[in-house]
Chains A and B, each alone.
Chain A
Amino acid sequence: AQKVTQAQTEISVVEKEDVTLDCVYETRDTTYYLFWYKQPPSGELVFLIRRNSFDEQNEISGRYSWNFQKSTSSFNFTITASQVVDSAVYFCALSAQGGYNKLIFGAGTRLAVHP
């Protein structure tokens, strides 16, 4: 069975703090893809990153960084120097090879960044 767990339901930080959103996944497939999506208050889903299971190199994009560790089945997302505009719900998702790649979402983490 495939599953994505985002244990943090809500996180509240003050602007400029660093914050890490945790994501733990389960799959028996050896080839799979992991995603992060952002859902701002306006409601749309914004794609942030896609990572395949063979690439464990960490990714950095501006203030965003992702730490992928197959040994712990985790794909954590860190925002450095958070800003009010980062306030949103963040979803981690898993898609496995074959089976037409149904995207399995975690429950999401609501991040509130206060001025």
Chain B
Amino acid sequence: NAGVTQTPKFQVLKTGQSMTLQCAQDMNHEYMSWYRQDPGMGLRLIHYSVGAGITDQGEVPNGYNVSRSTTEDFPLRLLSAAPSQTSVYFCASSQLDRQGNNYGYTFGSGTRLTVV
């Protein structure tokens, strides 16, 4: 019963490098999302997906790409890392009812990313 698994837990990148943050859930949830957490700003939505093959932008999508080839996985790609992307990243998943309302979010344990 793993829930939402994020890897890696910590990462240091140099400016301009690319990398992928992994997120996997084993609850067969339709909805998955990526948030970033910065001091004093709460969590802000980067990208989300309502099912395999469907993704959309959130509040702060620039500099990030996502794809959803399976229900279980929702990786987040940083194309060319910048110091402004230093943050803690959380992946979350939830189940939707027929009206599109969710029953609550399950969060991963987070990835602390530092870009130098």
Nearest Cβ distance between residue B45 and chain A, in whole angstroms? 5
Check B109 against A43 for contact (C-beta < 8 Å): yes
Count chain A residues whose beta carbon lies closer than 8 angstroms to a beta carbon of B: 27
Q: Which of A44-98 contact B (CB under 8 A)?
A: 44-45, 47, 50, 91, 93, 95, 97-98
Could you tell me the distance between the alpha carbons of A11 and B69 in the complex, rounded to whole angstroms? Answer: 44
Check B101 against A91 for contact (C-beta < 8 Å): no
Q: Which of B74-116 contact A (CB under 8 A)?
A: 88, 90, 92, 94, 96, 99-107, 109-110, 112
Q: Knowing A91-B42, A107-B42 touch, does A101 contact B101 (C-beta < 8 A)?
A: yes
Contacts of A4 in B (CB 8 A): 42
Could you tell me the distance between the alpha carbons of A33 and B94 in the complex, rounded to whole angstroms? Answer: 14
Nearest Cβ distance between residue B14 and chain A, in whole angstroms? 24
**B99 to A, closest residue via Cβ:** A97
Could you tell me the distance between the alpha carbons of A100 and B96 in the complex, rounded to whole angstroms? Answer: 8
Check B101 against A31 for contact (C-beta < 8 Å): yes
- B53: CB under 8 A from chain A? no
Q: Which of B46-74 contact A (CB under 8 A)?
A: 48, 50, 56, 58
14 A-B residue contacts at CB 8 Å? A4-B42, A43-B88, A47-B104, A50-B104, A91-B42, A93-B43, A97-B99, A98-B101, A99-B100, A100-B48, A100-B56, A100-B96, A101-B31, A105-B42
Closest 8 CB pairs of A and B: A105-B42, A45-B107, A105-B43, A101-B102, A107-B42, A50-B104, A100-B50, A98-B100
